Structures are given as structure tokens and as C-alpha cells.
Homo-oligomer: A and B are copies of this chain.
Amino acid sequence: MKPFHPVDPHYAERVRDSFSRQQAMAFIGAILADTGPGRCEIRLPFKPELSQQHGFFHGGIVGTIADNAGGYAAFTLMPADSGILTVEYKINLTAPADGELLIARGEVLRAGRNLVISRADVFAVKGERRTLCATMLQTLMTMTGKPELQG
């Protein structure tokens, strides 16, 4: 993978601002743990409200942070005055999301002018063990000249 060079030097701040305006992230308790050029890590501690019928993280919640990790990885490479749109994503749930913490790592595979392709892996952390519980492949669109809404 070639290194990516963000066109916006303030990309990290822009990503944090956008993340903090997503009320759904605060609601589920997700944390923006790290960003870099073409990558993003999101963490989500377990709480019973996020569970499915077996007491593990709900697959939709796993998909939510995978979508966000891949999306914000893409957003790091977009111009300062742009917005971002998820066009589509596909997620394979590879193991039960059983753990006290989820870590979602997104990375850009290809950054085109209009479209960006990202990938994200989600790991369930249980004590010392990390299990890959989902992998995602995603298409995102740059909305040029449509900056993210300010609060």
C-alpha cells in the first residue's frame, strides 16, 4: 500500500469535529481512538444495551462502527470544504462479537477524485484475546463544496 498524503493539513481536527456531531456515536458510547492519513480507529466498550439475543454486541452495532471507521479513514483524504457520503458497504460477520471492547480499524484501499474505497476490520477484545469478528468493504463519495454542517 502506498502512503497517502492528505490535501487538508487539518484533516485530524476535521474528522474529530464531524465525529463529535454524530449523536449516534455518543449514544452507543463509541470513541474516536486514532486517525492518520487514510486510516481511522474507533473503539466501543460493551454495555448490555448494545447486545443481541445471546448477549454479544449486535451485528448492526458492529456494522455501525465498521462503517464509521472506513468512512472517517476516507474523510482524512478529502478536501477541507467537502462532506462525505457512504454509498454502500458489505460486511462479513466472521465470529460472534463477544468481548468487553470492540476495535474497528478502517483503511483506504483507493482514493479517487469522487469515490473512495475503504476496508475495515473489527476485533472483539476479551481479556488478552483479540478475535476478528467482522470485515467490511465500502464505497464512499466526496461531496465537494458541501462542508459538514456546523453545530
If A60-B64, A60-B68, A64-B63 touch, whether A87 touches B23 (CB-CB below 8 Å) is: no
Give min CB distance, A90 to chain B, whole Å: 4
Residue of B nearest to A109 (CB): B135
Interface residues on A, range: 35 or more
Give min CB distance, A14 to chain B, whole Å: 11
Give min CB distance, A1 to chain B, whole Å: 9
Whether a CB of chain B sits under 8 angstroms from the CB of A101 is no
Q: Contact: A149 with B55, CB < 8 Å?
A: yes
Residue of B nearest to A138 (CB): B92
Task: Give every chain B residue within 8 A of A61 (Cβ-Cβ).
Answer: 24, 60, 64
Task: Give every chain B residue within 8 A of A12 (Cβ-Cβ).
Answer: none
Alpha-carbon gap, A138 to B59, bound state (A): 12
Give min CB distance, A69 to chain B, whole Å: 11
Q: Contact: A87 with B132, CB < 8 Å?
A: no
Q: Contact: A60 with B58, CB < 8 Å?
A: no
Which of A53, A86, A87, A91 gathers most chain B CB within 10 Å? A53
Option from B50, B55, B137 in Cβ contact (under 8 Å) with A137:
B137
Q: Contact: B64 with A52, CB < 8 Å?
A: no
> With contacts A24-B49, A114-B114 known, what are 7 further pairs, Cβ within 8 A?
A26-B49, A27-B50, A53-B148, A58-B64, A63-B89, A90-B137, A109-B132
